[in-house]
A and B are shown apart, each in its own frame.
Chain A
Amino acid sequence: EVVLVESGGGLVQPGGSLRLSCAASGFPFGTYAMSWARQAPGKGLEWVSGISYNGYATYYTDSVKGRFTIYRDNSKNTLFLQMNSLRADDTAVYYCAKNPARALLPFDYWGRGTLVTVSS
């Protein structure tokens, strides 16, 4: 059974940093691309970032480029999202999602999410 568990969310002041983690199990983590998506309170889904199976290729939505970094540790079956220079509009539930081996679509499994609140 595929299981994705996010952690690392919380309350942070504007301009601060957080690192999200996603622990994966139930599939050969190192052979699949992975993504982060987010959902602001009461809003729709927004894709944030994706990473290739080997970590060599990364992709970002424009609003987080230069502030967020996605990376992975295949030896520990863990995906990360380093978030710097956080802004109020980054407030959202952040979901980790599994992709196919060589693509960013579809998101075939999702974690339950972790809430990030950016506020003073």
Chain B
Amino acid sequence: QSALTQPASVSGSPGQSITISCTGTFSDVVHDDYVSWYQQHPGEAPKLIIYDVFNRPSGVSDRFSGSKSGNTASLTISGLLPEDEADYFCASYTSSITVDFGGGTKLTVL
């Protein structure tokens, strides 16, 4: 059972913005600055889109942005495109120096 909670699904229309939350269930999860986000299309490997809360790897669209407040990290996708339809996972360290993923959020672009 993940210590990081994400909504099971979110949806939006093309051009809109959506936000996916990632909340730690323990006080020491998501307390640091190492939250990362991954995009996974069906049948494909995950792809890093945000690291260290708000940084984007080279080549990732600036429509993707990350933030954190308290125990909740957030991924915002602006100007939704059909190809943004995918599963999104957050990840962070746990207190025992291991890594946990959130349960994942399915984004549907209507």
Among B38, B99, B103, contact of A104 (Cβ-Cβ < 8 Å) = B99
Closest to A46 in B: B101
**For A112, what are the chain B residues with a Cβ–Cβ distance below 8 Å?**
44-45
Question: CB distance B103 to A105 under 8 Å?
Answer: no
Does B93 lie at the interface of the complex (its beta carbon under 8 Å from any beta carbon of A)? yes
Among B44, B51, B89, contact of A108 (Cβ-Cβ < 8 Å) = B51
Question: CB distance B51 to A44 under 8 Å?
Answer: no
Per-residue CB contact flags for chain B residues 57-96 toward chain A (1 = under 8 Å, else 0) read 1000000000000000000000000000001010111000
Question: CB distance A107 to B57 under 8 Å?
Answer: no
Q: Given A105-B34, A105-B93, A107-B36, is A47 in contact with B99 using a C-beta cutoff of 8 Å?
A: yes
Closest to A107 in B: B48
- B18-60 residues with Cβ-Cβ distance < 8 A to A are 34, 36, 38, 40, 44-48, 51-52, 57
Closest chain-A Cβ to B56's Cβ sits at a distance in Å of: 11
Question: CB distance B89 to A47 under 8 Å?
Answer: no
**For A46, what are the chain B residues with a Cβ–Cβ distance below 8 Å?**
101
A-B residue pairs in contact (CB < 8 Å), sample of 14: A44-B104, A45-B46, A47-B98, A59-B98, A95-B45, A104-B93, A104-B97, A105-B34, A106-B36, A106-B51, A106-B52, A107-B91, A110-B45, A113-B45
Known: A95-B46, A104-B99, A110-B46. 18 other contacts (CB 8 A): A37-B101, A44-B2, A44-B103, A44-B104, A45-B38, A46-B101, A47-B98, A47-B100, A50-B99, A59-B98, A60-B98, A104-B93, A105-B99, A107-B46, A108-B48, A108-B57, A109-B48, A110-B47
